[in-house]
């Protein structure tokens, strides 16, 4: 398992938290958003999904991964 902390811009409320955590969950990963810090810490199986795919899924929700 791999863990990465992504900097995510644009998350402002609990709905945003759910959108981001849900997006990575759909890829089989587990995400934990820290709203005040603007980060999402994601634990994932690096043999099944890449960090780039996780970032893309978050961006599809309308946020910027920087």
Binding site for a second copy (CB under 8 A): 10, 12-16, 19, 62
For the bound state, the minimum distance from the C-beta of residue 13 to a second copy, rounded and expressed in Å, comes to 5
Q: Is 20 left (phi over 0), alpha (psi -120 to 50) or beta?
A: alpha
Beta strands at 30-34 and 39-44: parallel, antiparallel or unpaired: antiparallel
For the bound state, the minimum distance from the C-beta of residue 11 to a second copy, rounded and expressed in Å, comes to 8
For the bound state, the minimum distance from the C-beta of residue 65 to a second copy, rounded and expressed in Å, comes to 17
Name which of 16 and 27 has its Cβ closer to a second copy.
16
Task: Say how many residues make up the chain.
Answer: 66
Name which of 5 and 14 has its Cβ closer to a second copy.
14
Measured CA angle at 48 (ends 46, 50), to 5 deg? 55
């Amino acid at each position: 398992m791999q863990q990465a902390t992504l900097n995510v811009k644009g998350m402002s409320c609990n709905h945003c938290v759910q959108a981001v955590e849900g997006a990575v969950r759909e890829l089989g990963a587990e995400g934990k958003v820290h709203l005040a810090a603007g980060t999402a810490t994601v634990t994932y199986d690096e043999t099944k999904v890449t960090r780039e795919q996780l970032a893309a899924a978050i961006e599809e929700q309308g946020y910027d991964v920087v």
